[in-house]
Structure 1
Amino acid sequence: MGNYIVTGGNRGIGYYLTEGLLEGGHAVAVLDRELDGLAPLAARFPGRLWPLLCDVSQEEEVARSVDEAARLLGGLDGAVHNACLCTFAPAGETGEETYRAVLAVNYFGALHLAKSALPHLERTGGALYFTSSGVGVTGFGGIAPYASSKGAIEALAKCLRIELAGRGVGMHLLHPPLTDTRSAAPLPVPKAFFAAPEAVGKGLARRLGKRSFVICHSPAQQFQVRLCYLFPLKMGAMMDRMLRRAAEQGE
């Protein structure tokens, strides 16, 4: 059984990813700015869940938290950057401060985790995981800061994969589908566009040991992500049109 760090594990996909790892017999340290949602898991898995208060946009906080997690867990076998911030507005109506705030959590949070966790992962031959998104490959309307940050994560992961070759540390991208952000979206997003966070998080937890660079929670999602890489502009435009048409029809 392994020892994992999960950032952004208090709610959503990160919560169910954490639950899935715990159910699989692993131990997990969750780094998040809020920890109240983890109480049920702490009660179910005493001694295997370590909630640590941490703002991933702050490099020093991440470094301290990662070292503390490694101490509590007895080493690290995997580190997952799942914490994210997503805003909804047209690019032209979004101020630079919003881009900076989103990048601070999504991109720099990943960078901070990588820099702090890699020395521990090299000792164990562990793996680093960044949660990405298809919109970071294809683009999408109304979420330019988020999509841009995920595009940056895609590039960072590829660079690290090259640099880490031969050092015994795995580098992977997790590609979940849309889940539970409907309430803040600029359009009334149809329910069919979303997957259940529990199915996604636990599906990813079961697949963290895979050697593939891109890891999805299901074969169907793996196929869709492959299409995004092959035809990024076409897939982005098609998904945007589908969303707007479905929203107009009230589906």
Structure 2
Amino acid sequence: MTARTILITGAAMGIGRAVAELHAARGHRLVLMDVNADALEAAARELGDNVAASAGSVASLEDCDRAVSMAVDRFGGLDGVSHNAGIQRYGDVVQTSLALWNEVLDVNLTGAFLVAKAAMPALRKSRGALVLTASIQGMAAQPGALAYVAAKHGLLGLVNGMAMDEARHGVRVNGVAPGSVDTPMLRDAIALDPNPAALNRAVDEMHPLGRRARPEEVASVIAFLLSEEASFMTGETVRVDGGVLSRIGGAPQTEESGA
């Protein structure tokens, strides 16, 4: 496999860290970006010599430009971007303050736009690929997460819009929509519940496969979409959700169904 240069956001933990580990193991050159500078530096040290760290927020165009410049200056260009940075906040339309709304949209939606804006000139030169990590909450909704749901729905539109704009430049743009993934963000969210043990069971049971995803399972799909193996895919958002959005309730419970 030809070594490529990949920019990975949200790279210090969770899905982003799993994407970084997978691509480092395959011999690619990496620029890791995360707002958590200490965790980012630790990840970069652990993943080898062809890994650079650029601490910063995806909500800052200056920080995004710096990460792209690092890829170009150190490694000679940029072939792919895996955007994973995101935050989770809660509240319905009455409970959600304007400050909270802006915070979630700035990181989860505008951040994706800014990363793409910074990276696209280099990706056009390399005829590269961009993958945005969205969520099944970009296709459906859980109650009480309005800003997050709106931002993730917006990411799907960003995938489609950029895919159409960039096809003539040879750049492919795709997304992944995970279900529940065993990440620090999910564990922190579950810890907010009055009965975390019960919610943990419910999270696993809502997936037909009976469990949440491991970060590396999502990372493998992202790696495929970034690779030439997905050379005829653009404008697609792939569900990696253990079947959760395929399930329809209301079926009679039988022994055979296991219900």
TM-score w.r.t. the length of structure 1 is 0.81
- What is the CA–CA distance in structure 2 between the aligned matches of 1:31 and 1:72, rounded to whole Å? 15
1:40–1:59 CA distance, 2 compared to 1 (3 A): closer
- What is the CA–CA distance in structure 2 between the aligned matches of 1:85 and 1:63, rounded to whole Å? 21
Contact 1:18 1:205 in 2 (8 A): no
**Runs (4+) of structure 1 moved beyond 6 Å?**
none
1:158 aligned residue:
160
Contact 1:57 1:109 in 2 (8 A): yes
Q: Which amino acid aligns with 1:36?
A: D
- What is the CA–CA distance in structure 2 between the aligned matches of 1:184 and 1:92, rounded to whole Å? 20
> How far 1:214 moved relative to its partner?
3.3
1:248 aligned residue:
none
Confirm or deny that 1:184 pairs with 2:167: no
| Cα-to-partner distance string for 1:58-91 (whole Å, 9 max, x where unaligned) | 1122112211222122211101211001112333
- Select which of 77, 86, 89 maps to 1:87: 89
Paired-residue identity, %: 26
Structure with more of its chain in helix, by fraction: 1
SS of equivalent residue, structure 1 residue 93: coil
Confirm or deny that 1:196 pairs with 2:214: yes
- What is the CA–CA distance in structure 2 between the aligned matches of 1:42 and 1:110, rounded to whole Å? 22
Q: Which amino acid aligns with 1:183?
A: D
- What is the CA–CA distance in structure 2 between the aligned matches of 1:164 and 1:203, rounded to whole Å? 21
| Cα-to-partner distance string for 1:70-124 (whole Å, 9 max, x where unaligned) | 2122211101211001112333211111110011011111111111111101111
| Cα-to-partner distance string for 1:213-250 (whole Å, 9 max, x where unaligned) | 436486x74x656x5xxxxxxx7xx69x9xxxxxxxxx
> 156-165 or 44-53, which moves further after superposition?
44-53
1:244 aligned residue:
none
- Select which of 74, 77, 92 maps to 1:75: 77
2:236 aligned residue:
214
SS of equivalent residue, structure 2 residue 175: strand
**Larger C-alpha radius of gyration, 1 or 2?**
2
Contact 1:200 1:217 in 2 (8 A): no
